[in-house]
Each structure stands twice: as structure tokens, then as C-alpha cells.
Amino acid sequence: MDFSWSTDQEALYERGLAFARNELGGGPGKDGGLQRATWSKLGGFGYLGLSVPTAHGGLGLDALTTVRMVEALGKGCADTGLVFSACAHLFACVMPIVESGTETQQRELLPRLCSGELIAANAISESGAGSDVFSLKTRASRDGRDYVLDGEKGWVTNGPTADVYLVYAVTKPGAGFLGISAFLVSRDTPGLTVGSPFKKMGLTGSPISPIYLEGCRVPESRRLGKEGQGSAVFRRSMQWERACLFGSYVGLMERTLEKCITFASQRVQGGKPIGKYQAISHRIADMKQRLEAARLLLYRACWKLDRKEDAMLEVALAKVAVSEAAIQSGLDAVQIHGGSGYVEEGGVEQLLRDAVPSTIFSGTSEIQRDIIASRLGL
């Protein structure tokens, strides 16, 4: 077992971290739209195609190096919403095209998705189908060489600005896992409309909205994978997302920890820095322990993905560990910073608000625990 990174991986990480710190503005964006200029910068560096083969315009990294790079992005970029949007684009939309797209789909879309020319959004969840994706109501009915899509999707990250939507719809009602198909729907397709962006408690730089499909005609050539393979495409995309996207929360936790150590060393109460009180120093020690434990689980999950082995258990363990550690880390940071941690001006409460949804998206903690339990034979 080798816990070290290669010289090339180290150098790439340092470049990614410097880029994230210096080139991405260092502040949360505004709700309602991604900045195209910033998106192009992410593409220019290679962040939108980390795990995409070089032949398609990506950096061609394995999952382990990819997660390390996402960690650099999460640590360096203060706008965790932007990081989340970039990861949702790459892992839930671009990777499915890499793994299941036709040559034409790959040629037409991948270079532009990697360069930052296009923004992608993943649309599966509906108001009545969240954790239970098999109760989707959106239908795709065959009509000659087209499909006609009808339905609505509830929470579509990047929805307000996306150019292409990966939409999951039922092609064979009652067939469960095999009844769902995936479609690449362009924003300008008649019958597709984008709803108003939601306001949310965190990840403010990541716009999210519903989308509506009404008689939305999509050619067969835009189906991703075979008919009935949508669930498999989605499941695989969630493996990428639950593993690699969560590198951003490892990076966020590292940034939070550093902020807490600095504050605890400088803030003097009762004649000494608060970090000299065991109540504070042990809380920080626990933050470090939780971060490192979660990080190792995440690396192991990515290592297994790279070996092309079944990684359902490892990915679920990592997802729960990273997301729950990130929320605890945000709570600890607020507590350590006292009143200045609670007010917006301190820049600390935002760390907590950005962490809270991580136990909900990409499959809730409860669903991950179900996966873990089922892998244990329960």
C-alpha cells in the first residue's frame, strides 16, 4: 500500500490550488446564473474535463487524481457553489457521455463541454420522485424516429444557464430499472422551458431551477445509451459524483480547519489564545481526525473505481463520511469563532450553509446507509 502522490500529481495539485485561489475571484457568485467568463476559465485550466480522455478534450486523469484535483478546487475557491456546479456538470453529465455516448454525441459535445463553451445540467429528480427515482412521472413516448418528452424536473443544478440537459424519462411504464431512458436535450428544443431559480440556504454560486417538458421532441440520435439503459447510466454517473464531487468537501474542510487554527491561535480571551484551552484544541483535533478519516475513505473509493471493481459499498461509505464530517466541521467552525462565526461578515457561517446540502444531493445519507446495509447482507 502506497499513500504517496507522484511528483506529477503533486505538481498538478499545486497548480490547481493556485488557479482556484487566484483566478476564480475568491467570492461567492450571485444566484440566478453562472458567469460564462469564469466557466471558460475553469474549462481553460482543464477542470471541466479532468476525467475525460484527452482525445475528447479532457485531461485524461484517473479517478484518484481527479478527486485530488477537485480537492484543490474546493480548498482554493471560496465560491463552493461554483465548484459544485462544475462538478455536477462533469460527473453527472459529461462522464455519462464519455461512458455511454455514441461517437457522434461525443464528437459534437465533449470538446465543447470540456472547454467551457457549454454548460450541462442533470435532470432526474421530480417533486414526487427524489430518493425513489423509479417513481418518475416524466414520460418519453416513441413517435417515429423521435421521442416526445412530457413532465417536469424539480431541482436542476445549472438549470438556469445550461445549454444541454441530461433528462431521464420513463420509456416503459411499470418496468422499473429497465423502464427508464436518458436523453441529451438542447436548451433551445421547442417544448423545454426553464423555471425561475430557487433561493437556497447555501451554494449560492450554483444556480438551480425546475425545468418543464411539454411535447418536447427529441431525436433518437440524442438518446444516451440504449432504450431502457437510463437507470444504469444514472447509477454509474452517481458513482462518479458521489466519489469525485466530494473531494470538494474534503478541500472545504481543510480550508475550514486552517481558518479555525489561525483564529484559535490569535483570539485571546482570559489572557491566552483560545487554542490553549483544551475544549477548543480538542475540538480542532477532532476536526482534523474526521477530515483525514473521510479523506482516506474517499481515496479508497476512487482507487476502487480506477481498478474497475464494484465500488458501491466504498463509494457509499465515503459519501456519508465526507458529507457528515463537512457539516460537523462547519458547526465546529461557527462554535470556535463565537459571535463572529455566526454573522455573515465573518465568512464562517457560509462554510456551514454550503455543507448542509451535501447529505441530501447525490443520494441522501439515509439512502447511502441503505446501500451499505444491503452490501452487508441486511
Ligand X SMILES: Cc1cc2nc3c(=O)[nH]c(=O)nc-3n(C[C@H](O)[C@H](O)[C@H](O)COP(=O)(O)OP(=O)(O)OC[C@H]3O[C@@H](n4cnc5c(N)ncnc54)[C@H](O)[C@@H]3O)c2cc1C
By CB under 6 A, name the binding residues for ligand X.
88, 122-125, 130-131, 155-157, 203, 208, 357, 360-361, 364, 366-367, 370
Q: Which residues of 276-297 are buried (b: 16+ CB within 10 A; e: fewer)?
A: eeeebeebbeebeebbeebbeb
Centroid of chain to Cα 18: 21
- 71, 241, 314, 349: the catalytic one is 241
* Residue 156 Cβ vs ligand X, minimum distance, rounded to whole Å: 5
Coil/strand/helix, residue 229? coil
123 has which bridge partners? 167
Nearest to ligand X of 70, 88 (CB atom):
88
C-alpha distances in Å from residue 318, one per residue of 67, 88, 247, 357: 12, 18, 10, 16
Centroid of chain to Cα 303: 18
Give catalytic status of residue 366 as yes or no. no
Whole-number Å distance between alpha carbons of 272 and 96: 54
Whole-number Å distance between alpha carbons of 207 and 30: 8
192 has which bridge partners? 213
Query: DSSP labels for 285-315?
Result: HHHHHHHHHHHHHHHHHHHHHHTT---HHHH
8 Å CB contact between 261 and 285: no
Q: How many CB atoms lie within 10 A of CB 207?
A: 27
Nearest to ligand X of 127, 221 (CB atom):
127
Alpha helices in the chain (DSSP H): 7-23, 36-45, 63-76, 80-89, 95-100, 103-115, 230-240, 247-266, 278-306, 312-337, 339-342, 349-355, 365-375
Active centre residues (catalytic): 241
